[in-house]
Structure 1
């Protein structure tokens, strides 16, 4: 019988920002794997609100408060193919969260492509818990940017990061508008 070492999983995402839904999946993933690598995709194509370094730092801050069920948890940025990153960190499992049936089709296609690239790495889907099913980073950013209450979607630390970013963007917009008016 083949002996296996510790089970290593990768949970990839942009985490722009990390939400309570992400935290739910991370907490539950630590019940399945011995070592969890949270892989923060640089993904400049998505136009993230926060830099990769800022997102990694936010995720690390959130991990300080998380019960990890004995699993080792690491946070790393990556800008390569996910399957290459998974091999680099010794993972045999990719963990993906599903909020709704609408997520499944995309995630299923991605899992099939990943399996074609490396059949040694399995994809495991974890469904979002009932209280977290509707949370998405995109909605959190939209609600927060318009002054809405995001306290039930993100931790207080993440809410503060968002508030500072939106305040800074508001100042930048006001400065730009002032320059444009002065030029005319």
Structure 2
């Protein structure tokens, strides 16, 4: 009997208070989910490649075209060869950019998973979200964090529009054991 009481007390202690949930929600900085900034951070010292791509490409194209014109008297052929070379090089840079964007997306997913934690956050606010966020909170419950844009929108909506007293009332209805005014009935104690 003591083991069952201990298990129930442990489960009750794992459930945060509504104030904790509200403070967790308000502490989220949605700027930490900006994938462009994260991709630039991941690039680090290689960001100069993105900045110089257009000027260097234009210079190479003009240089090879002029060089081919003067050396071989074939400006169109030299232009096409230079353009082909630049196209091939740009595809390599594009693949590298795609790699950084994918890494940034994985980093944002990791940050969302860290915020949600074991107990979750946004799924507990589902009563205050419009129906269009249903897929978001359902996937968050399953541990799938790929709805990044909707997550940011839902956090901003809840941070700006949520009425804390209504949330607390629904929280205490859902988790009555966290209510300071909760008195367990005799039926529950006998079990």
**Per the shorter chain, which TM-score range?**
under 0.3
- Answer 1 or 2: which has greater helix percent: 2
User: Whose radius of gyration is greater, 1 or 2?
Assistant: 2
**Higher strand proportion:** 1
Question: TM-score, normalized by length of structure 1?
Answer: 0.26
